[in-house]
């Protein structure tokens, strides 16, 4: 009679642990599934290698890489990629947003015109970004920074996973 009770107690202890391990495994699998297509992420075109004027590493370890991203108006960031999923943090003070052209290797262009937004004291804007295959970014026109206080550069926090 002790055997069914003992089995029940073992099951009660191990089932939550097995569930947690399964969920963690699925989470790791989800992150490693991003950025697996090598043809979209060729060697030598990592953002830091291909665009060192606009992408600078300010912190890196085995889990994350933090990039300072700054692009001047009237410039084009050369063709590059971002292999890992990331968070993009930008200091938003409102006003006119930049006019951006996002170019892909196949020649297609996504034009993102500028918009006017209400000026405010400033707040961090956070955007989740999936891995980005090869692209170039052109800042056609940026907001007039003379009327607004200069904020910090954008930060891209890349979450490293198996390439």
Report the top-level CATH class of 38-159. Answer: mainly beta
Helix (H, G, I), strand (E, B) or coil at 69: strand
Domain boundaries, the chain: 1-33, 38-159
What contacts 151, CB < 8 A, 6 or more positions away?
Answer: 91, 92, 93, 122
Partners of 128 in the beta sheet?
Answer: 87
pTM for the model stands at 0.70
Of 48, 125, 127, the residue nearest 83 (C-alpha): 48
Of 73, 76, 72, 74, the residue nearest 51 (C-alpha): 76
CA distance 69 to 153: 6
- The total of other beta-carbon atoms located within 10 Å of residue 21's CB is 11
| pLDDT tens, residue by residue, 73-131 | 888 999 999 999 999 999 888 888 889 999 999 999 999 998 888 887 888 889 999 99
Q: Is 91 exposed, middle or buried (0-12, 13-18, 19+ CB in 10 A)?
A: middle
| pLDDT tens, residue by residue, 22-59 | 666 665 556 555 445 667 899 999 999 999 999 999 99
């Amino acid at each position: 009679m002790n055997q069914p009770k003992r089995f029940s107690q073992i099951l009660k202890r191990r089932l939550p642990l097995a569930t947690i391990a399964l969920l963690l495994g699925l989470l790791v699998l989800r992150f490693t599934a991003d950025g697996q297509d090598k043809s979209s992420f060729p060697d030598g075109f990592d953002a830091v290698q291909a665009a060192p004027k606009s992408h600078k590493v300010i912190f890196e370890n085995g889990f994350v890489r933090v990039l300072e991203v700054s692009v001047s108006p009237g410039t084009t960031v050369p063709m590059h990629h971002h292999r890992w999923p990331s968070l993009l943090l930008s200091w938003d003070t409102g006003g006119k947003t930049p006019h951006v052209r996002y170019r892909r290797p196949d020649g297609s262009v996504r034009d993102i015109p500028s918009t006017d937004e209400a000026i405010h004291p400033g707040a961090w804007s956070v955007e989740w970004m999936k891995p980005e295959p090869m692209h170039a970014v052109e800042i056609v026109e940026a907001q007039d920074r003379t009327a607004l206080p200069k904020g910090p550069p954008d930060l891209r926090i890349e979450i490293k996973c198996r390439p």
